[in-house]
Structure 1
Amino acid sequence: MRTGKSRTPTCRPSRASSTRSASSLSSETRLRIWLERSGSGFRLRDAATEEPVRDDDPRIRVVKVAGVSYRLEALQDDAFAAGRRLALVPEPDNEHDPNAIGIWDEQRRVQAGYVPAEIARELDARDWQVVSVWEYVEDGRRGGLRVLLAPRDAWIGIPRA
């Protein structure tokens, strides 16, 4: 008896890029995250449920900024303080990695470093926003940053200074 269903696929496999789009990760409801002060930075909390958001939540990325050791003076700029919005700048002409995504201050004056290579190759920077969420401070100087990468349409509640 035939059911009308073919045993072979009727559509060709997609040739779409494997680049991970933030919109493909978002659910039907808009992601809303509060930043909650804690130590040298912020913890993440889901604004809808008030539950903590873990760093390994599939809707976001929380990563340590790569390459900061080459930019320690730039990293001291207040624009990189925890809670500040930053900018993702793709570098397709980067001689070391065409997938490189620079992390700059919001006005794109000073660069802190890069999205780690293994994460950058999965992202389309246009679909994501970035906020500094944790500072590594030693002897009163910023020596590293962790940043939140969230879908461009996510709401991120940042406490006022």
Structure 2
Amino acid sequence: MMNLDSWVSDMEFWYQSRKHDQVELLEPLILNPPQQVWGPTINTVQSKAIACWLDACLRVFESNRYHACDKAFQYLQLAYSKLQHVASNPLAETELKDWALKRLQHLIVLLLEFCNQNTPGDWQAQSHQLIEAHVHFMAANDHDMAERPEDRSQHQSRIVH
């Protein structure tokens, strides 16, 4: 597996040299990120990496949303599940968890909009399952956040993206 610095360099190369409709080149980077992308500690490179990874998932989603619905949905689900993992990691720094939770809120809205814009039936059932799972996850995570002894307002944010 690639180290974090090399992975970020590859992502930067895509941003600098590719047309933004060439998202298929992002897929291997999305599917094979180094473990450090997910924390548990924050530094400048990790912060950039997780933001680029999420952006890449969203680019693949947007590129496929009208002609490959299942693939588009899978990339949103992948982003959602990875950020759930970050937000629920007991070893992750508070700022990283907070960042992930905020992005989860945006992703669930995007997932629900996507489901509602597609043909009713399976997508509507999927929408209901997403809502239920998200409510359960957030309720469990709110409980975990409330039990933390540190004062989160005292932390200076180190996530730069």
| TM-score bucket (shorter structure) | under 0.3
Please state which structure has a larger fraction of its residues in helix: 2
Greater C-alpha Rg: 1
TM-score of the two chains, using structure 1 as the length reference:
0.24
